[in-house]
């Protein structure tokens, strides 16, 4: 399982309903990236503060322009990869949230990213 950023792109998602990404052409998996007006460091700190307050999620990799978390579901202990790429050129946070197993996630990844996006946009 390859993760991370290559040439400004997070890894692609598959055409199945167990993921969302701001960098996909697959309509059902697409979500808009999160715009930011602060600098990357401030934006990254804000994302980290939001995600740190969520349950069962752990930061596993951090770079200047990239964060990778793993969230573990409460009952079945399924793992989801949640990634953020801070695109300074376009002033947006690109993201990818994907279940490691299964065909569908019952909308869990979309709900998670909507919650994070909404929290980030709040003043």
Summarised one tens digit per residue, pLDDT across range 84-118 is 999 999 999 999 999 999 999 999 999 999 999 99
**pLDDT mean over 4-16:** 95
Residue 35 contacts residue 29 (beta carbons within 8 Å): no
**pLDDT mean over 12-38:** 96
Helix, coil or strand: residue 32: coil
Spatial CA neighbour of 97 closest among 78, 122, 121: 78
- What the chain holds in terms of domains, given with CATH numbers, is 18-121 (3.30.310.80)
pLDDT tens profile 47-93:
999 999 999 999 999 999 999 999 999 888 999 999 999 999 999 99
Helices 108-121 & 40-52, crossing angle to 10 degrees? Answer: 130
Residue 36 contacts residue 84 (beta carbons within 8 Å): no
The pLDDT value recorded for residue 38 is 85
Does the pLDDT value for residue 1 go beyond 80? Answer: no
Indicate the pairing of strand 9-10 with strand 92-99.
unpaired
pTM: 0.96
Q: How far apart are CA 5 and CA 2, in angstroms?
A: 10
The pLDDT value recorded for residue 85 is 98
Burial of 109 (0-12, 13-18, 19+ CB in 10 A): buried
Helix (H) or strand (E) holding 81: strand 79-87
The phi and psi torsions of 77 (rounded to 5 degrees) equal 65, 30
């Amino acid at each position: 399982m390859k993760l991370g950023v290559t040439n400004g792109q997070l890894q692609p998602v598959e055409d199945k309903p167990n993921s969302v990404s701001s960098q996909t052409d697959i309509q059902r998996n697409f979500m808009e990236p999160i715009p930011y007006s602060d600098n990357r460091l401030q934006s990254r700190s804000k994302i980290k503060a939001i995600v740190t307050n969520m349950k069962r999620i752990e930061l596993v990799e951090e770079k200047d322009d990239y964060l990778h978390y793993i969230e573990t579901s409460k009952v079945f202990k399924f793992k989801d990869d949640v990634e953020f790429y801070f695109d300074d050129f376009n002033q947006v946070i690109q993201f990818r949230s994907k279940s490691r197993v299964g065909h569908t996630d019952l909308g869990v990844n979309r709900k998670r990213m909507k919650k994070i996006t909404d929290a980030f946009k709040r003043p």
